[in-house]
Chain A
């Protein structure tokens, strides 16, 4: 591929210690050997159920949880950082370039700060502005881009609806002028009528400010409408990755297919046709051998129970399944 990558990971692993004895420490691998490339200016989607490791992956790329194995690099053309060894002044600089938009706009905003102070805080903490006037100017500029009125800036978050609050948290994330934004379930807590509005805003801001998003979601239909490329995660691994259109036209992995058919159809006469998944995602502390999905896969064979499939890359598509070709 010739596209320039903003984020590139090789065998990225994030493990958390979970007790065990002094000599046999156990680790929980929330993200387990992930290799992805996020092109500059893309809207990169990550999909999976709770417990699939999608949030941990996003946090690792923001350097918010320690990377315990593999590599991750950030390269925006101006600077190039190795995320697994970042520290000191470089880390400080990276904080400005990579930001996070949270899921729940009700929990993410301090009820005791005015909207102006909430948006200005990153500038003040990172020391990005020289004077109060400059801070105010930057706050007003980003607030206008996020469609907030100047009059809103003097109020407290409780006076706002969910959609307005989410616009405030977007403004706060973007005020430091980041290049890379991780949006973690940023529309999941919103009503459908508002959800579309926030997705459209994220799109507009992307082209105005030249942002690259990693968009984490459990909702395939939202991802389908906003992302250029989608990676599907299951138990810490990527099971399928493809450009959105290709993925939605012809999903290859049985898990992706199951996720599709689980979306409730708007057609009342289209009930129960779906191929439903049995069971639940296994606990990450007690992962099945072989293909991690075999416990729920309707097509699992003996091979799947013993040998883990590798992620087969083919052009811009990749799938990790022993049987995907015969199941097409």
Chain B
């Protein structure tokens, strides 16, 4: 059984300039212990999608009534969209679902010690005593590879280095034993050597804790190293999803292909860099038809400009939202 099912997630933001569509008709599900990479460039709606699972989007967010987000816990299914009171939302905000943010300096309160923040959330989400919460926090800090955890426990976020802060963030997110972990660009702000350490740590923790992870990143290399399956987003729509090997070796959507070609490869230095042409349209000017058609190099006709492409099966568990793939399947 799946851990979380997202169906037809559509989300708009009410602004002075009108309603802005951030996410449109996104559906996916994740099994326990599975790692899904959510890939896309800035403005593709990947963070908004993840925050929707915790209902963390700003107050001007308008969810489409057709949106269904169901979290399957041992105690029974939870309909996330129906949660209204902050008390009820505790289950998706640190209880069964935890989140690691991109910039660890900005996510820790600067005037509280690391330890007091870790204990605070344990007291909210578990029945542990203060003493036990403290012991568990120190154990978790130790577990994520922070040396001298007991003294780090009493330090402030600014006293730690970037890599250490991100480890502390991971320790904090995992101390409540969440079923689902959302990691929003957890390694983007880190140096490559530290990124490699954090990726290794996260792999170990998945093996040990067996939770599902949604790993948001713009780096396909990081996805290849961590994820079991990948979903690619562009301008609020999911354009391709499938097992990581399938999508990376055999990308079917022109956008996924473009992202892979744009990556500088170390094994062939002579290969020219191929940017995806053009710029991402402003969300205020969402293109009609296929959202990618303004930058697509493989437009097959007016259909791309007028009709939103549906999903086409392009391999085992692999589907692509592109008219080109429908044409191939029909032929």
Instruction: Name A's B-contacting residues (CB within 8 A).
Output: 49-50, 159, 161-164, 191-197, 199-200, 218-222, 224-225, 244-245, 248, 258-272, 274, 276-278, 280-281
Contacts and interface: CB of A to CB of B under 8 A. Distances in A.
B263 interface: yes
B300 to A, nearest CB: 21
Interface stretch (B47-55, B133-141, B217-225): B217-225
Interface in B5-43: 41-43
A50 B162 contact: yes
Interface string B161-183: 11110000000000000000000
Contact of A224 (B199, B218, B269): B269
Nearest to A225: B264
A196 B274 CA distance: 6
Interface of B: 41-43, 161-164, 191-197, 199-200, 203, 218-222, 224-225, 244-245, 248, 258-260, 262-266, 269, 272-277, 279-280, 282
A192 B192 CA distance: 16
B163 A280 contact: yes
A193 B260 contact: no
B264 A191 contact: no
Nearest to A198: B275
A263 B279 contact: no
A218 B187 CA distance: 14
A272 B197 CA distance: 10
Nearest to A50: B191
A224 B264 contact: yes
Given A196-B274, A265-B221, A258 B193 contact: yes
A199 B282 CA distance: 23
Contacts of B264: 196, 221-222, 224-225
Contacts of A219: 192
Contact of B262 (A159, A192, A248, A263): A192
A266 B226 CA distance: 11
Contacts of A270: 224
Given A162-B42, A268-B224, 19 more contacts: A161-B280, A191-B42, A196-B273, A196-B274, A259-B192, A259-B193, A262-B193, A263-B192, A264-B199, A264-B224, A264-B225, A265-B225, A266-B221, A266-B263, A272-B200, A276-B197, A276-B200, A277-B197, A280-B163
B269 A244 contact: yes
A193 B41 contact: yes
A280 B275 contact: no
Contacts of A197: 275-277
Contacts of B200: 272, 276
A163 B295 CA distance: 14
Contacts of B277: 197
11 contacts: A192-B41, A193-B41, A193-B258, A194-B41, A194-B276, A196-B262, A196-B276, A200-B273, A224-B266, A263-B192, A272-B203
A271 B259 CA distance: 21
B273 A266 contact: no
Contacts of A281: 191
Contacts of A274: 196
Contacts of B272: 200
A264 B163 contact: no
A184 to B, nearest CB: 16
Contacts of B192: 49, 218-220, 259, 262-263
Nearest to B217: A264
